[in-house]
Amino acid sequence: MERNITDQNQLIPATTGEVTYSQEEASITTAFYLCGFFVCTFGVIGNTLIVIVMRKFERMSTSVYLSVLAVCDNIVLIVGECF
């Protein structure tokens, strides 16, 4: 397959719709997904701890609000990680 060189780091195919990535782009993509994974993991752990701690203060409206907020944040973190 013949390729056109447009940049030193990236090759673009001349005739087909095949996409090739440079090593730099692959590294950035990997780092992006790893950071997202760690943010989601620590976010879910932190929100779960908030719910556990707020169960001790059941009668206060603020604790109910914070618990619901933590549960909703967990849902967003988990659903956002899937997509």
How does pLDDT run across 42-73, given as a tens digit for each residue? Answer: 999 999 999 999 888 878 888 889 999 999 99
CA-to-CA distance for 2 and 77, rounded, in angstroms? 43
Looking at residue 74, its pLDDT comes to: 93
How does pLDDT run across 12-26, given as a tens digit for each residue? Answer: 555 556 667 788 888
CA-to-CA distance for 12 and 6, rounded, in angstroms? 7
What are the Cα distances from residue 47, in Å, to 18, 44, 77? 42, 5, 10
pTM comes to: 0.64
Give yes or no for a contact between 45 and 58, defined as CB atoms under 8 angstroms apart. no
Q: Where are the domains positioned within the chain?
A: 3-82
**Residue 79: is its pLDDT beyond 80?**
yes
Chain-centre distance of CA 1, in angstroms?
A: 36
